[in-house]
Amino acid sequence: MKFKKFGKALLMGALSLGVILSVTSCIQSYSVGYLFVIGTATAQSSGSGIITGFKINHNTGQLTQLNGLPVASGGANPARAVLISNSRYLYVLNRGTTVSGSPNCTSTDPCINSNITQFSVGGNGILTAEQTFYTQGINPFKLISDGGGNYLYVLDHDSPNSPNNPYCAAALGKDTNGNDITACGDITAFAVNATTGRLSLVTNAQATANLNGQVQLSYFPVPVNPVDFALAGSYVITLNGPTTMNPEQSYPYSGGTTTFPYAYSSSSGQLSLSQNTSQQFSNFTKGTAIVFSGSAVYLLDNEPPVAPNPTGATSQILPFTVGTGGSLSAQTGGPVADDPTQTNPVWIMTEAKGKWVYVANFGNNVTGQPAAESGTAGYVIDPATHQLSFIAGEPWGTGSGPMCLVEDPSNQYVYTANYNDSTVTGRVLDQNAGVLNNLRVANSYSLTGPPTWCLISGRTD
C-alpha cells in the first residue's frame, strides 16, 4: 500500500514529534541530590531539634521539601550532623539543655541529655531514627567523620570531672608553672559498623601507658576552651581559646588562639600524640573556626588582618599547609582580609574543581534582624602560589546569619542555611568566573525554625 501525500505528511510529523519528545525526555527535570538542614523547631530556649530535607532540581537548583520531613532530631539544640556510607546513615549531635532548659550550657551549668542520634536514609530521603549514643565528655558541640565513614569524632567542651580531672595531664602534661594540667576538653572517638551503622567507642591506647596502666581513658584530652576541630590529612587538629579555663563560657565558642594536633590512624581510628604541643598564633586571637578544605587548613578569625590592611576589613582568613607533627605553616601571602562589609566568618568551602574558595560570614546581627554584615565572600585560588584574591563582584547576599555553606552534587549550586531569619538561600555557581548568581527560580526558602547546620546527599534512590 502506498501513502498519499497527506498520509506521508502525517507520518513525518509524528516522527518529528517523537524525536522532539525523546530529546526533551533527556533534559527533563530530576533531583540531583538532597539538602538536609538541622535546627530547632522554634527560636525558644527549649530548642526541640528537627531535620528538614529538600530535593534539589538538577536544571534550576529549586528546592522542594521532602515528604515526611521535618522529623525530630532525637534531642534538643542540634549543632552538627554528618552523612556516611554513601549517605545511608545520618548522625545528628544534639547538645541538649541545662537543667533549667537553657541552651547556654557552661562548665558550671552543663548540658544534660546530650546525644548522637543515628538515622537511616531511605528512598526519597525518608529518615528513620534508629539508635542513640553518648559521648564521654560534657557539653559536646562539634561532630566530624573520616573520609571513609569508618569513624566519628565528637568535640566535648569539657572533659569528665573538669576542672579537677587528674587525667588531663596524661596528654597535656604540665602548665607553664610546672603543675599538672587538671582542666581540659576532649574528643570522643567512635568506630562505625559498616552494616548497621552502630557506633562503638575507640579507647585511648596511648593514655594507658602514660598512666602506668591504671586507667584506660575512654577519650582523648585536648586543651581547655576548645572552639572547633578538623580532620586534616593524617591529623585531627583542635582550635582552642585562652589557656585559662573560663567556666562560664557558653556556645557558640570563639576566641581561638592556638591549635593542638593528634595523629590520626585511618586503620584503627586511634588518635596519638604527635611531637608537637599547642601552636600559638600572634596574629590570631578571636578565632571562630578551623576548616580543612581542598588541600589547605583555614583558620577563620573575627578580627582585622595584620597591617597593612588596605581593605579596612574587620575579619580575616589565615591559610596554612599541614607540616610534620600536625604543625601549621602559613601559605604564601599570609592572612587574607575578609570582605570589608562582612564580619564573623564561621565556615569556608572550596568548590569541587579547586578554583575558588567561599566564606560564610555570620555577621553580628541577631535573630529576626536584617542581614547586616552577613553574606558570602569569594576568592580565586592562585594555582601556583595558593594565594587568595577576591572574585570580582563579591560579596553575595544570603539570609541573615548563615551557619554553613554547601555545594550540590552536580557542582552547579551553592546553598547556605541562615540562622537569624530561618531560611535557606540558593545560588548558581558560574563555572567560568566563580560568581554566585541568583537562581532562575526563588532564591530563598523558609524553614520552620533557626537552622544550625546543613549537608548534602548525592544519593537519591
Q: 306: which 3 cell numbers?
A: 595584620
- Quick count: other Cβ atoms within 10 Å of Cβ 6? 8
| CA–CA separation, 129 and 192 (whole Å) | 16
Q: Match 578565632 to its residue by C-alpha cell.
A: 287
| CA–CA separation, 203 and 210 (whole Å) | 14
Domain ranges in the chain are 30-134+398-461, 138-342
pLDDT at 175: 80
pLDDT at 365: 62
Quote the DSSP letter at residue 294: T
pTM of the model: 0.91
| Cβ contact 184:217 at 8 Å | no
Q: How far is CA 9 from CA 3, 23, 64, in A?
A: 9, 21, 43
Element (H, E) at 291: strand 287-293
Phi and psi based region of residue 393 (left: phi greater than 0; alpha: psi -120 to 50; beta: remaining): left
Q: 235: which 3 cell numbers?
A: 591529623
pLDDT digits (tens, 9 = 90+) for 231-243: 999 999 999 998 8
pLDDT at 15: 44
pLDDT at 44: 67
3-class secondary structure for 197-232? CCEEEECCHHHHHHCCCCCCCCCEEECCCEEEEEEE
In the predicted model, residues of the chain with pLDDT beneath 70 are 1-28, 43-45, 209-213, 275-276, 307-311, 365-371, 461
Q: 196: which 3 cell numbers?
A: 548497621
